[in-house]
Amino acid sequence: MTRQHHTENVRNSNNTAETTLVALTIQICGFVHEGALDTRCAAKLVKRLRKEAEAISETRRSTKSGNKELIDAFDAVDAVLRTHDAALLVAANAALRATAETTGTMQST
């Protein structure tokens, strides 16, 4: 299976509407927020949705209001992804500190 070039994707793009991309992005945002979707998977899905949004924009099928909704939805999912990843980082750091404290206490006795 070969990859198509971006220009071929634009020419052969289906009739995906901006509202569909917004709805999908909002769903992904909700899934990440609930912890039902891994952030790496969500980031890949959003990357693909951004490419589709770009294809829609290049074919001039986009509207100002639809484009604004897309930008807002992408901003929202980016914020949720950053927040979720930051929470994971804080939890991992706390676990490391707890392990270090336990190891330090055992070594000092």
- pLDDT given for residue 83 in this prediction: 92
pLDDT, mean of each 10-residue run, the chain (109 residues)? 50 70 95 92 95 88 87 95 91 91 66
Backbone angles phi, psi at 83, to 5 degrees: -65, -45
Is residue 22 one of the residues assigned to a domain? yes
The range of the structural domain enclosing residue 84 comes to: 6-108
Full DSSP string of 33-85: HHT-S-HHHHHHHHHHHHHHHHHHHHTT---HHHHHHHHHHHHHHHHHHHHHH
Is residue 72 one of the residues assigned to a domain? yes
- pLDDT given for residue 28 in this prediction: 96
Is residue 1 one of the residues assigned to a domain? no
* Domains contained in the chain, number: 1
User: Per the structure block, which two tokens stand in for 77?
Assistant: 């999912």
- pLDDT given for residue 20 in this prediction: 92
- pLDDT given for residue 58 in this prediction: 86
Is residue 41 one of the residues assigned to a domain? yes
Is residue 53 one of the residues assigned to a domain? yes
- pLDDT given for residue 15 in this prediction: 64
